[in-house]
Each structure stands twice: as C-alpha cells, then as structure tokens.
Structure 1
C-alpha cells in the first residue's frame, strides 16, 4: 500500500512571523559575551529572504562571511643553544656534530637525536616509551629493544672512558649523567 505525501506548499503557513524568545531584557549582557549579542538559529522555507524578514520585524540583519576558524599562531620556542658542552662532551646542534675529548663521533641521525636529548636533560630518567615517542616520533610499536640497541651503539662510540655517562635505570629506561667519575 502506498500513501501519497502532501506537497511542501500544503505545509506552509500563509503568514510567517519571526519572534525572538529570551528571558533577558534587550541590551543586557549575557555572561561570556561582552557586547550582549546572542545568536539564534531560525529555520525558514527556501523561498523566504531572511534579511527581508528580519527588517520587516525591526531587526537589523548582520551578514558575515563564514570563514574557517584559524588556529592560534604558534608560540615560538626559544632557540635551543647551538652548542652544549659538559666537560668532555661537546654537541653542536647547528652543525650536527658531537665531539668527545676533541674527537669527532660518527653518529647516525637517530643516535645524534638520542644523545642530544639525553645530554640536554641530564640526570632525568627517560622511559623507553618516552624516548620512542619523543625521538622516533611514534607511539609504542614493537618493543623497547630499538632504544636498547641505539644506546648500546652510543656507548660503543663514546668509548670506554665515557660510556658510563649513559646509565641504565633497570626496568625503567636511561639517564645521562654529566660527569660519571
């Protein structure tokens, strides 16, 4: 069985009336709005001009283009110091160079990032997960062995005199100790 639907014109009222409803007198401020303006959502038939309807009821229409909200401008972080030096270890971020006792280390991109992060946050214990997300830039994928392997390579490249600067905190992660002697 089929039922005929009435045409849209059958539902239209002959006279439209716009009425704003609110419990505050005109001109009083609403908490959170400085100028007392409040927005209303009014549904109108497609053939009705909203600006003309508002003018006919003594309301001044305001037209504003719809623009996507712009994110706030990022606050620039202070530039990290280009050279970090603590006794025997010298890290030059601008040139991506690490020297130990005047000897330049041949580090991969991730080894440099890891050593720089650890050295610029001395005596802070870093979990493997925090290092993976902070240095590698992704969440928990696989296990913490990636960090362990990079730490082992860094210790080997630092040499026997300085490998103790990266200390293991058992079952947690790693910390950089500026002067291990």
Structure 2
C-alpha cells in the first residue's frame, strides 16, 4: 500500500520520516508465523542514512551483505550476420534485421506477424499449441484466446501467397506447425 504525501507537507518537515505500512506493528520482527519474510522498499533522499533513520524510529535493520558471485567467462562477442541464413527453403528469416524474404522479395509484416513466423520457421515440424504461442509470442498475461493466433496465421498465409501458404500447417484441435520445403 502506498500513501502519497502532499507536497506542502513534505516541504514543511525538514527531517525525513519513516512510516511502515503493513500488518506488522512497529518494532515487531519481520518473520511471519509461516516462516516467510516480509520486505519493504523505501525511497529516501540521497543524503539520508537509512540505517540511522530506521534506528531512530525503533526499527532494527537487518543487513545481509551480498557475497560476490563469479560471473561466467564471456567468450568473444558474436559477429552480427550481414546476410540471412542460406537455406534451400523459399522462406528466409533474418532476425537481426527483422526481415522475411520469400523467393527474394521482402514481406511487409507487422511486429507480431514477424515474431510468429520467425518462431514457427525456427522450430520446424514442432507442433505449437495456441496457448503456447499466445504466451511465447504475445507474452505472459496477454488477454486473448486461440482465435488471436488463428487470425494472425490467416494473415501470414495470405501474405505468403498461394504457393507457400501450406507451409504453416494446421494441427486440428491443437495448433500449428511449420513444414519447410522438402524438395
């Protein structure tokens, strides 16, 4: 819970005040009966010492220094690809430039259409459920249903044209898969 302090009140009191809002009474430990801990995020001006402020209000600060974590060794930086991956398939996806080429011509795709097609092309023969596509492409928490995926697949098929539209195959009552050219 956050409570806004009026600007006029903030200007009147020169000393910062600390007020915790929650189920815990002042001075009680942060441990709960179920073993979980409660934490608070407190914003203070840069010149205020948080430990001194907490002690002045009767709160015992718990300070746990972080142990240094060894970061994995980084190899050489990958060199960006200038050209899309060459393949025998007529549909080529260049993720770096966010471009899809079909038989040498560039498709005009929306942001989500590109992400959907790139995901399908990048995982050929894998059946993707509508729900997995919604969470993977649109993101967690997207409000929508399987019809959203169906509409975007229909638009992609239309943009791919009659010769290539069957590359995005429907798996009835499940979802979609990408089937590359098998010539």
Question: Structure 1 residue 74: deviation in Å?
Answer: 8.2
Instruction: Give the 3-state SS of the residue equivalent to 1:124 in structure 2.
Output: coil
Partner Cα distance (2:141, 2:70) in 1? 26
Equivalent residue of 1:178, what SS? coil
- Which deviates the most, 163-172 or 81-90? 81-90
Aligned twin of 1:93: 95
Consecutive unaligned residues of structure 1, counting only runs of 5 or more, are 1-64
Assess, with a 3 A threshold, how the Cα gap between structure 1 residues 118 and 69 changes in structure 2: closer, same or farther.
Answer: farther
Q: Spell out structure 1 runs of 4+ moving beyond 4 A.
A: 68-76
Residue equivalent to 1:135: 137
Alignment TM-score, normalising by the size of structure 2: 0.55
Give the corresponding residue for 2:114. Answer: 112
Pairing of 1:60-71 with structure 2 (within 5 A): 66-68=64-66
Matches within 5 A, 1:69-84: 82=81, 83-84=84-85
> Does structure 2 retain, via aligned residues, the 8 Å contact 1:164–1:180?
no
TM-score by length of 1: 0.55
Q: Write the distance in 1 (CA, Å) between the matches of 2:122 and 2:99.
A: 15
Higher alpha-carbon Rg: 1
- Structure 1 residue 124 displacement after superposition: 0.3
The alignment yields a C-alpha RMSD, in angstroms, of: 2.8
Change in CA separation of 1:86 and 1:135 when aligned onto 2, cut-off 3 Å: farther
Residues 127 and 101 (structure 1 numbering): CA distance in 2 closer, same or farther, change over 3 Å?
Answer: same
* Preserved contact between residue 90 and residue 99 of structure 1 (Cα < 8 Å): yes
CA distance in 2, matches of 1:138, 1:174: 19
Aligned pairs, how many?
115
1:121 corresponds in structure 2 to: 123
